Amino acid sequence: MHLICESEKLEDYLIELKQVNYTNPIIRSKADELFISAQTEIEKIKLAHEYVRDEISHSWDIQGKRVTCNASDVLVYKEGRCYAKSNLLASLLRSQGIPTGFCYQRLMLFDIPEKGYCIHALNVAFFKSLNKWVRLDARGNKKGIDAQFSIDDEKLAFTVQEEFGEKDYPIIYVKPNPKTITVLEENTDALEMYKHHLPQRL
């Protein structure tokens, strides 16, 4: 897939945001635990991706009601949906000076179009050593979902089925989409939010 940068300035993909709060002591402590200077860029990105994918639970998978949003809260409570988990992955990578953006897919919410659609969030990291952007999905694996770190062929959580109205959005955004943040800020029950309130398109 041909990805399109929202900004031509790599430094824009390093900015700190309310949701990507990488100078927060909680984030800094986790970054110090995960990363050492001897690691290569590729090793750091792989480590961060796998940490968020595997150690932070997806709210729906654990049927958790807590709604998290800011990266530091996601880290404290160790759970969140893809919007929140993408904030944490961006935060960890940006803390290491690795340009990281946000990318989206439109997917069926469950198994048939009649049950509705949702926007799914993933990250895109810039590998300076490879001079390319790579999409990473930290949603969390389970039966039927097997996202893997790969710098060659993408191995995302979901393959878009265009014949059912699903879509890959090509833009690499500097900030999380406002609709994804609003839904996290306005809801207090993650399960109800998942079933009834997720944005269906950007």
CATH number, domain containing residue 66: 3.10.620.30
Amino acid, single-letter form, for residue 51? Y
Q: Is residue 129 part of a domain?
A: yes
Residue 44 forms part of a structural domain: yes
C-alpha dihedral sign at 146, 44, 175, 60: positive
Give domain status of residue 127, yes or no: yes
d(CA 143, CA 189): 24
Q: Find tokens 């990318």 and name the residue.
A: 103
Residue 201 falls inside a structural domain = no
φ, ψ dihedrals at 138, nearest 5°: -100, 20
Number of domains in the chain: 1
For residues 136 and 62, give the distance between their C-alpha atoms in angstroms, rounded to a whole number: 22
Residue 88 in domain: yes
Confidence of residue 1 (pLDDT cuts 50, 70, 90): confident
pLDDT in tens, 8-39: 999 999 999 999 999 999 999 999 999 999 99
In-domain check, residue 202: no
In percent, the amount of the chain with pLDDT more than 70 equals 100
156, burial (CB in 10 Å: exposed 0-12, middle 13-18, buried 19+): buried
Show the domain range for 85: 4-196
pTM: 0.97
